[in-house]
Chains A and B, each alone.
Chain A
Amino acid sequence: GENVEQHPSTLSVQEGDSAVIKCTYSDSASNYFPWYKQELGKGPQLIIDIRSNVGEKKDQRIAVTLNKTAKHFSLHITETQPEDSAVYFCAASGNSNYQLIWGAGTKLIIKP
């Protein structure tokens, strides 16, 4: 079955710097890749997603890139701010949005 690996498990960056989180997936049929942000005591919240017919998608300071050949996708956060501190999860799925397979999460720490 599908497997999603996420790296790093913890990422500490200086406020204002960029952060990059990477995920790899195993099933070449996967075609939907969402990223979720989870704050302490809350449920995951979608921040950006990409489908396999697109190589890159941006939303203000957040961008996601997808390399279908290499089967990996990345989350890029520029000009990081204290409120970006959270746990970020990547996920992948095939023909439908259910049966998402999740990465283990990355704890992002923004240092003032």
Chain B
Amino acid sequence: NAGVTQTPKFRVLKTGQSMTLLCAQDMNHEYMYWYRQDPGMGLRLIHYSVGEGTTAKGEVPDGYNVSRLKKQNFLLGLESAAPSQTSVYFCASSSDHQPQHFGDGTRLSIL
């Protein structure tokens, strides 16, 4: 009964470093999403995918890249981390016209 699993749970990076956040879902959902959550701002959509091999930009895509090579996985990449990318990152998945299910987040600090 895993649902949506995010790895890692915590990470500290130095400015300019790169990393990839992993998201896996076992519900056979078509849609997957990456959000960032900052204090007082709710959740903002970074990128999303409507199916394997497809990705699209959300509200705040700059500085991030994504890939969906397998239906169950959605990867979020930071090529050159900046302090402004310090945030909590959430992955979610859903079927069409069904609610989104969230993972428990990755807490990322950029020094």
Contacts and interface: CB of A to CB of B under 8 A. Distances in A.
B48 A98 contact: yes
A89 B42 contact: yes
A102 B100 contact: no
Nearest to B58: A99
Given A102-B42, A103-B42, A104-B42, A97 B31 contact: yes
Given A97-B94, A98-B50, A99-B45, A104 B40 contact: yes
Interface string B79-111: 000000000001010101111111111000000
Contact of B102 (A41, A43, A97, A98): A43
Interface of B: 4, 31, 33, 40-45, 48, 50, 58, 90, 92, 94, 96-105
Given A43-B103, A43-B104, A97 B40 contact: no
B102 A45 contact: yes
Nearest to A43: B102
Given A97-B94, A97-B100, 14 more contacts: A6-B42, A41-B104, A43-B102, A89-B42, A97-B31, A97-B96, A98-B33, A98-B48, A98-B50, A98-B100, A99-B45, A100-B45, A100-B100, A105-B42
Interface of A: 4, 6, 9, 34, 36, 41-46, 49, 89, 96-100, 102-105
A97 B98 contact: yes
B99 A49 contact: yes
5 contacts: A6-B42, A9-B40, A42-B105, A46-B101, A100-B45
Given A41-B104, A43-B102, A96 B97 contact: yes
B59 to A, nearest CB: 8
Contacts of A98: 31, 33, 48, 50, 94, 100
Contact of A104 (B41, B58, B94, B102): B41
A36 B37 CA distance: 14
